[in-house]
Amino acid sequence: MTLLAEIALVVLGGIALSVCLALLPGAPPGRRRSQPPVPERPSQLVALERLAITAGSNAVQAHAYLRPRLVEIASHRLVAHGQTLDRMPDALGRELLGDRLWEIVRPERPFPADRQGPGVGWQELAAMLDVLERL
Amino acid sequence: MSASLSPRVHGLLSLAAFAVIAALATGRPELALMAAPFLILGGAGLVAAGQPCLRVEVAVERTRLLEGEVVAATVRLRNEGARAVDVDLAPARTSQLVLEPSGSLAVHVSGNDEVEVDFTARAARWGAHALGPLRVRARDPLGVAVWEGTLGPRVDLRAFPREQRLRELVAPIRTRPFLGSHVARSRGEGIEFADVRPFRVGDRVRQVNWRATARRGALQVNDRHPEQSSDVVLLLDTFAEARDQASGTLDSAVRAAAGLARAHLARRDRVGVVDFGGTLHWLEPAFGTRQLYRIVDALLASDIAFSYAWRDAASIPLRVLPPGALVLAITPLLDQRSIALVTDLRRRGCDLIVVEVSPFDHIGPGPSASDAVAYRLWRLQREELRARLQALGIGVAVWTRDGSLGPALEGVNAFRRSARHALPV
């Protein structure tokens, strides 16, 4: 009985090892094909995406970085109306651009006294762009 | 070729060690006997393994093709050793060269024998694609030893861009006093009528306008505009590009440059190319079919080279920009240096056209709501930039992926007619 059990054990062990042998890899696995690199977004757009967030953080960001861009765009758009931003009367500016956008782009706008004051959030910026696109 | 042990050897040794340890732990010698086959297999494999002697040749149906075309290729693998080997072949792939069948090719080569493997290659993008040398991994039949390396000659497939066919071109303001297809502003021998003037000594009888002579009572002759050629310089902006997974603005720019070069050379213009980016390459203006091939070859090497170096118009050799040349800047206007360059060239009195390859075809708004707002702001900013360039007298042709370049150039011609006061005379 003991001899039979030993024979069975050896046979089973041999079968198990044969299975292990069959499962062994025959060659080194090939290098995993690298994923195609994700294309980089243009730096101009990345800077604007960052600006859309940071302009809402405080008044200095909005005045120093967002305002010059809005002034350039508004000046270009107003040319179609025969207007220039520098010589535009306050009332006409408010009429064409709306109170909030005019407040940002008006020529004599001073540097914000309260540096930590409210900036221009992206929702507010979207509303300003609506006005500019309609011009 | 570098040799190494296959992972199978590590597995065999592990199994043998496991069996020996089990035998020692249980005190049963039968288990140690089970380790013997693994040790024998590994040892036999190591003894029988020898450095394979392989030769690889790559034959390609043709090495020049248009992008998108397919070529058939054959790899001939010769085993000059006495032992058989299993070989995995992997042609050096780029993402722009699509092979069929894809992945590595597994073949078994007997000793002193030769096998041939056929496959096809499709150039998904223009450029010079290296097909070979091939990466080769050879194994002995027992799979114990592995040799890896690169074999075979380098075979370059040159895929030429599919060009934009152009009928209308931008008329240059200045021409050269050589025969061509552009109606010059000056007066001389030609077909296009210019004016009627009084007869001068030396005028030919065939120039006399008899109707005007009869009306005015004195000899009048017709003046005509001569047909002349011009110098054209294609300025390819390789500072930056907008790219999606499939294509980018540089792909379109190269296609436009090839089409413009062919069209201008067909009109007997001298055409040169400046690859203006992180690295500066140029081809001096010349004419003829040979120049077209030179230009296309130069364009194939174009690539975006990242660089912080500031370059301006002074970086371009003077002989590449002849006085009075029409400069066609093909650019996505994504880099401040390229915007500064076109502005600078215009301020120096260059007759300049910007072919703006639209990046909006390749880049969409980001995932968040604030990104969408930034994208709208970017669009408005680019419109403002375009208006600023036009105010300087630079004609801007916006070329989108879906549209043809011809209508965009016609728009530039219309702009140049209306903005004549802003252009150099």
- Tens of pLDDT, residues A47-91: 999 999 999 888 999 999 999 999 999 999 998 888 888 888 889
Q: Confidence class of residue B424 from pLDDT cuts 50, 70 and 90?
A: low
Angle between helices B369-391 and B336-347 (to 10 degrees): 10
For A129, the closest chain B residue by CA position comes to: B377
Strand B134-139 relative to strand B145-151, pairing: antiparallel
* pTM, full prediction: 0.75
Q: Which pLDDT does position B425 carry in this prediction?
A: 45
- Binding-site residues on chain A for chain B (CB distance < 8 A): 6, 9-10, 13-14, 17, 20-21, 24-28, 30, 36, 39-45, 48-49, 51-53, 69, 72-73, 75-76, 79, 122, 125-126, 129, 132-133
Judged by CB atoms closer than 8 Å, whether chains meet at A45 and B244 is answered as no
Q: Give, in order, the Cα–Cα distances in Å from A7 to each of A3, B24, B69.
A: 6, 18, 66
For B291, phi then psi, to 5°, come to: -65, -35
B240 touches chain A (CB under 8 A): yes
ipTM above 0.85, yes or no: no
CA separation for the pair B277, B268 (Å, rounded): 28
Residue B237 token pair: 């902006």
By mean pLDDT, which of B167-171, B217-221, B281-285, B311-315 is the weakest? Answer: B311-315
pLDDT of B36-81, one tens digit each?
Answer: 877 887 777 777 777 788 888 888 888 888 888 899 988 888 888 8
Q: Which of A13, A53, A76 faces B34 most closely, judged by CB atoms?
A: A13
Q: Confidence class of residue A29 from pLDDT cuts 50, 70 and 90?
A: very low
Best of B14, B373, B380 to substitute, by most chain A Cβ atoms within 10 angstroms, is B373
- Going from N- to C-terminal start, the domains of chain A cover 43-134
Q: Which pLDDT does position B47 carry in this prediction?
A: 76
Q: Which pLDDT does position A86 carry in this prediction?
A: 85
Nearest to B135, CA basis, from B80, B92, B73, B86: B92
Judged by CB atoms closer than 8 Å, whether chains meet at A30 and B88 is answered as yes
Judged by CB atoms closer than 8 Å, whether chains meet at A48 and B139 is answered as no
Query: A with B: how many residue pairs have Cβ under 8 Å apart?
Result: 120
Q: Which pLDDT does position A1 carry in this prediction?
A: 57
Residue B74 token pair: 């054959």
Strand B2-5 relative to strand B145-151, pairing: antiparallel
B373-B377-B383-B385 Cα dihedral, nearest 10 degrees: -150
B134-B140-B143-B144 Cα dihedral, nearest 10 degrees: -110
Q: CB of B186 within 8 A of CB of B172?
A: no
Q: Confidence class of residue B217 from pLDDT cuts 50, 70 and 90?
A: very high
Judged by CB atoms closer than 8 Å, whether chains meet at B243 and A39 is answered as yes
Within 10 angstroms of residue B133's Cβ, the number of other Cβ atoms is 17
Angle between helices B289-300 and B249-266 (to 10 degrees): 170
Nearest to B300, CA basis, from B353, B382, B236, B210: B236
Residues of chain B contacting A53 with CB distance shorter than 8 Å: 370
Q: CB of A20 within 8 A of CB of A14?
A: no
Q: CB of B378 within 8 A of CB of B365?
A: no
- Going from N- to C-terminal start, the domains of chain B cover 2-48, 54-160, 195-225, 229-422
Residues of chain B contacting A40 with CB distance shorter than 8 Å: 243
B411 touches chain A (CB under 8 A): no
By mean pLDDT, which of A93-102, B153-162, B304-313, B381-390 is the weakest? Answer: B304-313
Chain-wide mean pLDDT for chain B? 86
Judged by CB atoms closer than 8 Å, whether chains meet at B34 and A10 is answered as yes
Q: Which pLDDT does position A37 carry in this prediction?
A: 59
Q: Confidence class of residue B421 from pLDDT cuts 50, 70 and 90?
A: low
CA separation for the pair A113, B256 (Å, rounded): 52
Mean predicted confidence (pLDDT) in B242-266:
89
Query: Any idea which architecture B229-422 has in CATH?
Result: 3-Layer(aba) Sandwich (3.40)
Residues of chain B contacting A126 with CB distance shorter than 8 Å: 373, 376
Write the CATH number of the domain with boundaries B54-160.
Answer: 2.60.40.10
